[in-house]
Amino acid sequence: MPVADYQTYCQMLDRAREGHFAYPAINVTSLSTANAVLKGLAESRSDGIIQVSTGGGAFASGASVKDMALGAISIAEHVHRAAARYPIHVALHTDHCQADKLDQLVIPLVEETERRRADGRPNLFNSHMFDGSALPLNENLDIAVKLLERFRQNELILEIETGVVGGEEDGVKGEAGAKLYTTPEDTLEVARRLNAVQGGRYLLAATFGNVHGVYKPGHVKLMPSILRDCQDAVVKQYGDAARFYLVFHGGSGSELRDIHAALDYGVVKMNIDTDTQYAYTRPIADHMFKNYDGVLKVDGEVGNKKAYDPRVYLGLAEAGMAERVKRAVTELRAAGTTMFKA
């Protein structure tokens, strides 16, 4: 199925919130990793989200170019073509983009979508994240409101973040002592400001102790009840129509009970990067160790082309990452939920 259009993406999010499941949002950096996600989702019969970060886009454009928008466009163009061969819906999203990088990633991509729409072509991406969590809340929302006003004109969904996700991802750091827990007061202000943009749709990454990266059990203290409290506050103040569509960042390595509690409180999208990076790399390492004398020209030998052909070990990597995607789908209660009708 081609990349989801706006109406389909909205339906996906509505169904997830109503059904207490979420879509895995997998960061990709190449055609190979994007293909792994499509494979895993299709084999799980789940729709899902493929996303590109600032660093992922820069990498995809090539080490000599490092143009994050160009790389993101390249991946997105591939997904638009490849996704048409799979019996699922997939949405395209850009991950953490801080204020100082908006003009390098999000704005060029919105401009690209505007050009496509003027030519009668579908949107390139479905949604974009503005990460203003390092700013005071009023500054964060000032920028978010302007983006949402532009997004609604182009059938794009905005993701914002309040509070700070700890750890580090693609150079985005949650500083020591940062506000790791969103408050009901924060979310009431989000609802007041963003719901005033008539026709705009947005996702909220409210933080509840989330940390990027992966840690041994017990090292990360998640408090999903914060999400419940934030939802209760906004519904009490503005009614059930204001209930948030929430995003769970830093999902790699989280305890299953915390994941399921977050789903019950309105999470519809969970980001996964660290775990799928490992799942992609592990088969490559395994292949290299087992076939070291084939991938290396040892003691004057010529090696074994069948061992060092990148298609061999990257194929194993794709399969490994696809299996991790399938596990994520199951943990998020999304298996078999695709909206695709043959």
Residues labelled as active-site residues: 95
Among residues 70, 142, 150, which one has the least CA distance to residue 105?
70
CA quadruple 178, 29, 331, 279: dihedral, nearest 10: -110
Residues listed for the chain? 342
The token duo for 29 is: 């950096």
Asked if 243 contacts 204 with a C-beta cutoff of 8 angstroms, the reply is no
Percentage helix, strand, coil for the chain under 3-state DSSP, each rounded to 5:
50, 15, 35
| Helix, strand or coil, per DSSP, at residue 272 | strand
DSSP state string for 169-233: ETTEEE-TT---B--HHHHHHHHHHHTTSTT--EEEEE-BS-BSS---TTSS---THHHHHHHHH
